Amino acid sequence: MSPKISVIIPAYNEEESLPHVLNELPRDRLHQVIVVDNRSTDRTADMARENGATVVYEKRRGYGQACLSGMAALDDPDIVVFLDGDYSDFPEEIDLLLEPILAGEADFVVGSRMILEESRKALLPQARYGNQLAVFLIRLFFGHRFTDLGPFRAIRFESLQAIGMRDKDFGWTVEMQIKAVQKGLRIREVAVRYRMRIGVSKITGTVSGTLKAGTKIIYTIFKYLVT
């Protein structure tokens, strides 16, 4: 039997980009594609439904909350893939993330945007430097060398359950990486492509989003250092 792969896409006002994301995923091989909508004011939910995704509605805002609500809708998959809805990632590269898990060599695979020059350049400078600081601190405190906190990532469902994710907003990606190290998961990074988003930024494209996300990421690293 082929492994069941479920995809979770948090999306807030991504009506323009979401159809591209959904149509470039290899849908015939996916068990579930879940879009988590936080009361978008545009046609995000319609776009998700019209393009064949399962829509989960979540009232509480937050990237992590959206991921948690998406997880609550999982139907016993073998592998879970997280992907943004803004078409910055290249959905067809999902196989790069899945391969090490399917080969039995990894439990958790992070798509890094810091390896290919073209991807690195597509990151906003604040995201690039913020991520570099975060991965430096993770290496210093937890002893694992990541190069990025990329949103496009795959994890065995059993491992995802074992790490017990809790963060409800911007600490989500860093929490998963730190807990993966602490739990001794077999971690891999693969180089993924990245491009400027379609539509309006919700996080690092705004000053307040960058400040909030940066502060929360650094806070999360210190929080897991002392717990």
Binding site for Mg ion (CB under 5 A): 86, 88, 197
Q: How far is the CB of 134 from Mg ion (least distance, A)?
A: 16
Q: Does 119 bind ligand GTP (CB under 6 A)?
A: no
The 3-state DSSP class for residue 40 equals coil
Distance (Å, whole) CA 154 – CA 83: 9
Q: Read out DSSP for 173-201? A: HHHHHHHHHHTT--EEEEE--B-PPSS--
Q: How far is the CB of 211 from Mg ion (least distance, A)?
A: 17
Distance (Å, whole) CA 222 – CA 227: 9
Closer to ligand GTP by CB, 113 or 156: give it.
Answer: 113
Which of 10, 100, 111, 214 binds ligand GTP (CB under 6 A)? It is: 10
Q: Residue 140: enclosing H or E segment and its boundaries?
A: helix 125-142
Q: Does 14 bind ligand GTP (CB under 6 A)?
A: yes
Q: Residue 83: enclosing H or E segment and its boundaries?
A: none
Distance (Å, whole) CA 199 – CA 13: 8
Considering only residues 73 to 92 of the shown chain, the ones binding ligand GTP according to CB under 6 A are: 84-86, 88
How many chain residues touch ligand GTP (CB under 6 A)? Answer: 22
Closer to ligand GTP by CB, 35 or 109: give it.
Answer: 35
Among candidate residues 26, 117, 9, the one with its CA nearest the CA of residue 73: 9
175 binds, among ligand GTP, Mg ion, none (CB under 5 to 8 A by kind): none
Q: How far is the CB of 142 from Mg ion (least distance, A)?
A: 25
Chain contacts with ligand GTP (rule: CB under 6 A): 10-12, 14, 36-38, 61-63, 66, 84-86, 88, 124, 197, 201-205
